[in-house]
Homo-oligomer: A and B are copies of this chain.
């Protein structure tokens, strides 16, 4: 049969988390916005239980900040020194991933990565920048996951979220796809050094 695209099944909580992340990163929920559990429960048509779970999760990811008995609100930007640290750490994780992957990418995997980049180009053409951000992240996540599984994704993700929260810059169209292409090309060529350089150039 024809190779069908992997459709990922997401739990209810994951879908809500995804939606809230988008709201926050897109700026629909600016920093210091207080999240009301009941309100969110109504919005998604379920009870407060799952909502609370998601809030806890996003808090651990650094997008929200919550105090006991006082609810959660959208976190604000980091001061420059912390920002620098986060970039440095994220770069190290991604370079580590590149080194782990080295020459282990299968044809199948390369095809999937290329499909992601094609989607990225489409989103850029449509000027759907929230979608661009999501796809951008999914490209990196694919590599991180390949290298270190959920374990590595879990420690990597908070850095990405915090960086996105800090400056929601919209990378210029051509540059964005190019940067990722360079990473993939270097990986295909088995050039770890070049791939690492390309990754570092993309994380900023």
Contact = CB atoms under 8 A, between A and B. Distances in A.
Interface string A128-172: 000000000000000000001011101100110000000000000
A82 B148 contact: yes
Interface residues of A, number: 30
Interface in A36-51: 49
A184 interface: no
Contacts of A78: 151
A60 interface: yes
A60 B81 CA distance: 25
A96 B92 contact: no
Q: How many copies does the complex hold?
A: 2
B82 A152 contact: yes
A154 to B, nearest CB: 6
A140 to B, nearest CB: 16
Given A53-B56, A68-B11, A154-B60, A85 B81 contact: no
Contacts of A159: 155
A88 interface: yes
Contacts of A89: 89, 92-93, 155
Given A56-B56, A60-B60, A96-B85, A154 B158 contact: yes
